[in-house]
Structure 1
Amino acid sequence: MRPNPALLALVLVAGSVAAAQPASMPALKAAVKASTRSPANIARDRYRHPVETLSFFGVKPTDTVVEIWPSGGWYTEILGPYLAAHGTLYAAGPDDKGLAAVKGKQSASPAAYRSVRFATFPAGPGATAVPAGTADVVLTFRNVHNWRFGATDQTQTAFDQMFAMLKRGGTLGVVEHHLPEASGTIEEARSGYMKRSSVIAYATKAGFRLAGESPINANSRDTHDYPKGVWTLPPGFADGDHDQARYAAIGESDRMTLKFVKPK
């Protein structure tokens, strides 16, 4: 039997639409409600909006995803279960110490974290790096200031390596503490905040194109001018009991949510 051209065209269109679909909302919502998540982390959902954020970045349960510097694994607790059945999650940290929390979660809940692999980032010569051109999505949450603030500025190296690990057409999702452009005397990076223009400049130099941005994680109550930087706000409360009620009322920091694409 010869194929029906009209039917074949319909199948091809349906396939292209399916390929362009955003995150699977039922699967994502189920991952956010996973029993393996810690209560302390769940309490932060109202500030970090994981369903909306991961949907905006278009993370699908079949993707190969790299989470850069997962630290305590706040987002890993969601990404692990979300990608467990059909995807791959690379936890990429600076060293074994930086990945210890995620490795502990994987040991405690092997099924939820069975898709997790580990890599070094930034990766020097001989390190176990995320293979070039293999990732559908790279995610980094509140890390850019860390690359700027230290003995050496690793920011451009970080963006260059994230660009290299992505497939053509792949997405880089960045959530970072937002410092307004007219910030006066507030020092970028050392305050824990970064200017939008600075983040975009690093990404653009690496080869990325800004594809979108969202106010999902913005916080208009954040004045950005605290004695101990962004860490003064919850959950850190770096200034101890001093004015803690005021900082708690402000909530977590004002954050920019930027989506970049590696051009095809």
Structure 2
Amino acid sequence: MKIIKTLTAASLLTLTLAGAQTAYAHGDKEHATKMNQLSAAIAGDHRSDKNKARDMYRHPKETLEFFGFHSAMTVVEITPGGGWYTEILAPALKGKGKLYGAQYPDTGEDNYFSKSRKNLEKKLASNAVFSEVELTDFVPRKESTLAPAGTADLVLTFRNLHNWKDAGVEQVFKDAYKALKAGGVLGVVEHRLPEGSDPEKSRGYVSQSKTIAQAKAAGFKLAAKSEINANPKDLAQYKVWTLPPALANGEKDKEKYLAIGESDRMTLKFVKPKK
């Protein structure tokens, strides 16, 4: 006698879930591993408590995921500065991807460029998590090779545009375009100047519409905008360094500026078109 087994809705659901788990195990597991490496980097003990305290304003995981980051990419970080994002990018890419730090060169003189480069080199030598980072030379307002042409998947700049002024921004976007592969991404985070505000009164803030126009002039297409790093409490009625973490006014109105938090920021994703 044949026994006919009927699949109930519950048993069908069980089979579906099992199939999904199998697909995950053989397909999405690699993607999950790449993203877990980012999470591990953000939570790493090599990051100071002071730097981790900034995560609530800078949203590194959400920001990098918005730009399409994963740990097998070739990434360029333009002027890493003190290395806040480098502390995350270096271990997140280590062993799978590649990180170039396009930093000001050591000119051999006693100037900001040389000191900045030396300080970054000292930081990179301080911990094995940075052992695979490669530094290149970036000179503002001059053509610079951020990485070998056409090799980068992602070029990033965080809160730097205001330092370079218009001519410098235009040049760095050209440099980024040259470094990127076709289809590669330029990710920009910058202090956002409210439309119609006085740039002189709100020093350190940059027009979002102008930034988009400058990137388009360099050949990029705007792929997406995000409010991940927006802060509606920041009205930009002061120099950006008035806010934390700089707190340029010292103890004067300190609690007021701490309550505002870090600056309101644009987060823009541009793409180098495929030919």
Q: Give the TM-score normalised by the residue count of structure 2.
A: 0.81
Q: Which residue does 2:244 correspond to in 1?
A: 234
Quick one: which of 107, 115, 121 aligns to 2:138? 121
Aligned-partner Cα distance in 1 for 2:158–2:134: 18
Is 1:166 paired with 2:180? Answer: yes
Residue type at the aligned position of 2:178 = A
Q: Are positions 1:244 and 2:244 aligned together?
A: no
The aligned residue for residue 11 of structure 2 is none
Of 200, 208, 218, 1:187 maps to 200
| Percent identity between the two aligned chains | 50
- Aligned equivalent of 1:156, options 158, 164, 170: 170
Q: Is the 8 A contact 2:67 2:269 kept in 1?
A: yes
> Residue in 2 aligned with 1:32?
42
- Cα distance between partner residues in 2 of 1:258 and 1:220: 17
User: 2:125 is paired with a residue of what secondary structure?
Assistant: helix
Contact 1:70 1:99 in 2 (8 A): no
Contact map agreement 1:22 1:58 (CA 8 A) in 2:
no
Where does residue 153 of structure 2 map in the other structure?
A: 136
Partners of 1:23 and 1:169 lie apart in 2 by: 23
Quote the residue 2:59 is aligned against: 49
Unaligned stretches of 5+ residues in structure 1: 1-13
Q: Do the aligned partners of 2:35 and 2:71 also contact (CA within 8 Å) in 1?
A: no
Q: Aligned-pair RMSD on alpha carbons?
A: 2.1
Structure 1 59/247 Cα, relative in aligned 2: closer, same or farther at 3 Å? same
Q: Secondary structure at the match of 1:70?
A: coil
Distance 2:224 2:62 in 1: 14
* Equivalent in the alignment of 2:127: 109
Provide the secondary structure at the position in 2 that maps to 1:154: helix
In the other structure, the counterpart of 2:20 is none
**Corresponding residue number in structure 2 for 1:10:** none
Q: Is 1:58 the equivalent of 2:68?
A: yes
In the other structure, the counterpart of 1:99 is 117
The total of aligned residue pairs comes to 238
Tell me the CA shift for residue 258 of structure 1: 0.3
Structure 2 portions without partners, runs of 5+: 1-23, 107-113
Q: How far apart in 2 are the matches of 1:146 and 1:138?
A: 18
2: CA distance between counterparts of 1:212 and 1:164? 21
CA distance in 2, matches of 1:24, 1:260: 22
Q: Secondary structure at the match of 1:108?
A: coil
Shift of 1:105: 2.4
Correspondence 1:214 to 2:226: yes
Answer yes or no: is the 8 Å Cα contact 1:22–1:59 preserved in 2: no
* Secondary structure class of the residue paired with 2:269: strand
| Aligned match of 2:110 | none
Q: What corresponds to 1:200 in structure 2? A: 212
Q: From the superposition, tell whether residues 23 and 169 of structure 1 become closer, same or farther in structure 2 (CA, over 3 Å).
A: farther
